[in-house]
């Protein structure tokens, strides 16, 4: 059986997996992501922080169980792909919660890791009221801070 391994489970990774499944019902598809949230609406983060979206769950309508049931895709969250060996077509993966390291194989590999926040080494970046805005956990932290401290300006 042909195996597709996708690294990254937000918009691009899950879209690639869904499209690959529509093209090939026999394909074995696994998605690895080091985050815990998948297929979320990054564009909706400001609306959640601003209170226009009440529940964080509205930004994460699909979970790993959805992708398994709808597309027969195995989505493994909290898994970091630490090494790729293109000659042997293997990936070394570490489960971030257990620390277990294992190897998976692939026939086709897709990188869909997106971007990461760059925090410049400036004075004040380590203050409690300075946040990156990248993922669902960032949104949750900002909203919690706003709810507790009720800042008047940003």
Which residues are tagged catalytic?
43
Q: Which residue has the tokens 């195995």?
A: 74
User: Which residue, among 96, 97, 73, 92, has the nearest Cα to 81 in the 3D structure?
Assistant: 92
End-to-end CA distance of the chain: 53
Element (H, E) at 46: helix 45-49
Burial of 96 (0-12, 13-18, 19+ CB in 10 A): middle
Q: Which residue has the tokens 């090939």?
A: 24
Per DSSP bridges, beta strands 101-105 and 3-7 are unpaired
């Amino acid at each position: 059986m042909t195996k597709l391994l996708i690294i990254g489970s937000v918009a691009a990774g899950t879209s690639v997996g869904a499209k690959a499944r529509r093209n090939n019902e026999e394909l074995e598809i696994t998605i690895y992501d080091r985050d815990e949230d998948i297929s979320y609406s990054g564009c909706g983060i400001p609306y959640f922080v601003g209170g226009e979206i009440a529940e964080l769950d509205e930004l994460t309508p699909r979970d790993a169980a959805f992708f398994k049931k709808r597309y027969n895709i195995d989505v493994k969250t909290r898994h970091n792909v630490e090494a790729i060996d293109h000659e042997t077509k293997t990936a070394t993966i570490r489960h971030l919660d257990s620390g277990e390291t294992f190897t998976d194989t692939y026939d086709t590999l897709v990188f869909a890791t997106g971007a990461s926040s760059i925090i410049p080494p400036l004075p004040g970046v380590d203050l409690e009221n300075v946040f990156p805005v990248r993922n669902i956990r960032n949104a949750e932290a900002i909203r919690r801070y706003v709810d507790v401290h009720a800042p008047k300006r940003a």
